[in-house]
Amino acid sequence: MTLHFAVIGDPIGHSRSPAMMMRACAALGVRAQYEAYAVAPHALEHAVRGLHALGFAGYNVTIPHKVAVCAFVDALDHSAQQAGAVNTVVVRDGRTIGYNTDGIGYVRSLLEEIGPHAFGRDVLILGAGGAARGISYAVKDRLRPKSIAIANRTRTRAEGLARALDCATVVSWDEVAHVLPSYGLIINTTSIGMEPHEEPCALDRLRAGSIISDIVYRPTQWLAHAQSRGGLVHGGVGMLVHQGAEALEMWLRAHGMPYAAPIAVMREAVQA
């Protein structure tokens, strides 16, 4: 039997997920196909129902559908309810269940690359969109942060996320560069670094030994600057790998294959 998986998004041409998942399945000896499909927002419901009707074993959901897809699955796992967004759908006993593996993927990758230094820090999260929501709950639940602050260009969204987290404060977007020395883990969840010359904030005041983390998975100028100032840097490749590993393990478990995802092979495929 060949298992069929997909990722849906728009645009989707740049996605590294097909290469990563196909390499992972090959390494595990699992017969599978994983394809990327461009789905326009107005076609999302039809696409989701179509994947289900065609017998897909599971699929990933990416920008811009992570929030909208919540309405089209049979149930939402706790992780998706907290984040208000789904990045992984598992088909189990004929029912579709939405999960969010971004947060756990982020934390696993941070711990893999930075180690236990990541625990117990004062955390500053830049951005308050879907990615920030998934990550901030995982940071709160798993990294024992001393404090959490949110800064976002649109302040009302930062306030909404801080309220939902029930333990976070808000920092003005314009103040970020100034308050940087107060934070030991600074996480960029915005898409700013995707443009190579844009940086979410100036790093002149960065404390040596602070962790600077960016979910953009290409090398960014911001992280290069952070490193040259003595920061411990963490890029987005690991999060991509670990969110995918979590998804793959759930899909395979639903088919009686409780295999551990081959992390090193997946990382290699993303970076090829």
Q: What is the contact surface with ligand ATR in residues (CB under 6 A)?
A: 63, 66, 127-132, 152-154, 157, 189-192
Which amino acid is located at 52 in the chain? H
Q: How far apart are CA 140 and CA 135, in angstroms?
A: 9
32-38 sheet: strands from edge to edge: 32-38, 3-9, 58-61, 88-92, 95-99, 75-76
Q: Minimum distance from CB of 158 to ligand ATR (Å)?
A: 8
Q: Minimum distance from CB of 130 to ligand ATR (Å)?
A: 3
What is the distance, to the nearest Å, from the Cα of residue 100 to the centroid of all Cα atoms in its chain?
8
- Which residue lies nearer to ligand ATR by CB, 152 or 210? 152
- Which residue lies nearer to ligand ATR by CB, 66 or 242? 66
Asked whether the beta carbons of 39 and 9 are under 8 A apart, the reply is yes
Q: How far apart are CA 121 and CA 13, in angstroms?
A: 37
In angstroms, the Cα distances linking 137 to 26, 35, 81, 102 are 33, 30, 11, 10
- Which residue lies nearer to ligand ATR by CB, 37 or 173? 173
Q: How far apart are CA 243 and CA 208, in angstroms?
A: 29
Q: Minimum distance from CB of 66 to ligand ATR (Å)?
A: 6
How does strand 95-99 pair with strand 3-9? Answer: unpaired
Q: For residue 89, what are the contacts with CB-CB under 8 A and spacing of at least 6? A: 48, 58, 59, 60, 61, 69, 73, 96, 97, 98, 99
- Which residue lies nearer to ligand ATR by CB, 63 or 114? 63
By beta carbon distance, the residue nearest ligand ATR is 129
Token look-up 């969840």 returns 189
Among 42, 48, 31, which residue's Cα sits nearest to residue 98? 48
3-state secondary structure of 183: coil
- Which residue lies nearer to ligand ATR by CB, 32 or 216? 216
Give the active site residues: 66
Q: Minimum distance from CB of 210 to ligand ATR (Å)?
A: 21
Q: Minimum distance from CB of 91 to ligand ATR (Å)?
A: 24
